[in-house]
């Protein structure tokens, strides 16, 4: 599943292409909203809230979530799509001061259309987003500190902090020296939240995400995806397991048994 920095970059590309334009094509290829037609409306902006994308068009908000396979593409008018048309779930084209653009959402897992006044019914449950203008680190830390579940689970819960996915959580815990199954309310939640916010902000504008400061292939992570290989700090072999809020939501966890006792 894309991390919050990926979704924010996607929102920025969509906003650059559509904001201020008048909608010329609007198709939602899912039954419950297939009849919706916002042609002629103005695209106010496209923003991200955690891992959620929000197109604000006229008095409406188009909400989409990428989940594991979804992605939005931006094309020039008439340009050939890079993925098959049957995979397209949403098409929004607009003509504006900067010319025309066609944006296509492929393999989108969630699509909803609601009045913008009701936008919070879709994203109001989310915790503070470290990439948003109203980021509230104290509130994020409070939510984590009140969570008795494993720290790996608590940090990934979007109701606590919006935007951290599995890769970020594994890397945050390594750098902070926290074993993934440590109860969140027994950790320094504020320090973990601060570190995570600095990580995701540093990666927001990078083409290639890195946690180590090295962007060369195979050198970007401390522990994520490195099970069976030596820790970059101490040489101990990285271990792999799984944790989740329940058996249906387990994620891979990676840790160094020496650096994260």
| Catalytic machinery residues | 2-3, 51, 251
Structure token digits, residue 21: 């334009």
| Helix ranges restricted to H, 50-134 | 120-123
Distance CA 154, CA 183 (A): 9
Query: Which residues lie below 8 Å from residue 185, measured CB to CB, with a gap of 6+?
Result: 145, 146, 147, 148
Query: Which residues lie below 8 Å from residue 250, measured CB to CB, with a gap of 6+?
Result: 242, 243, 244
For 58-197, list the strands marked E by DSSP.
Answer: 60-65, 71-75, 88-96, 99-106, 110-115
Structure token digits, residue 204: 């927001």
Angle at 128 between CA 125 and CA 131, to 5 degrees: 125
Measure CA 198 to chain center. Answer: 15
Phi-psi region of 11 (alpha: psi -120 to 50; beta: other; left: phi over 0): alpha
Measure CA 254 to chain center. Answer: 20
Q: Which of 43, 91, 48 is nearest to 66 (CA)?
A: 48
Angle at 108 between CA 252 and CA 1, to 5 degrees: 15
SS3 96: strand
For the chain, the C-alpha Rg in angstroms (whole number) is 20
């Amino acid at each position: 599943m894309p991390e919050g920095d990926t979704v924010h970059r996607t929102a920025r590309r969509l906003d650059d292409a559509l904001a201020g334009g008048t909608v010329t094509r609007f198709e939602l290829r899912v039954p419950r909203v297939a009849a919706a037609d916002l042609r002629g409306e103005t695209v106010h902006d496209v923003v991200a809230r955690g891992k959620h994308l929000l197109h604000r068009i006229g008095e409406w908000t188009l909400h989409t979530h990428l989940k594991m396979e979804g992605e939005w593409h931006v094309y020039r008018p008439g340009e050939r799509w890079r993925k098959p048309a049957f995979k397209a779930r949403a098409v929004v084209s607009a003509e504006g001061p900067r010319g025309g653009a066609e944006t296509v959402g492929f393999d989108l897992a969630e699509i909803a259309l609601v009045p913008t006044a009701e936008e919070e019914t879709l994203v109001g449950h989310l915790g503070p987003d470290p990439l948003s203008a109203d980021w509230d680190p104290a509130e994020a830390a409070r939510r984590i500190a009140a969570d008795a579940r494993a720290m790996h689970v608590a940090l990934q819960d979007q109701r606590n902090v919006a935007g951290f996915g599995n890769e970020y959580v594994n890397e945050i815990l390594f750098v902070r020296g926290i074993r993934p199954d440590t109860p969140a309310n027994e950790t320094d939640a504020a320090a973990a939240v601060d570190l995570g916010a600095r990580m995701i902000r540093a990666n927001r504008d990078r083409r290639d995400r890195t946690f180590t400061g090295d962007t060369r292939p195979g050198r970007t992570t401390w522990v994520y995806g490195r099970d069976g290989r030596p820790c970059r700090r101490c040489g101990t072999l990285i271990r792999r397991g799984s944790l989740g809020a329940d058996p249906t939501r387990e994620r891979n966890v990676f840790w160094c048994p020496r650096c994260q006792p």
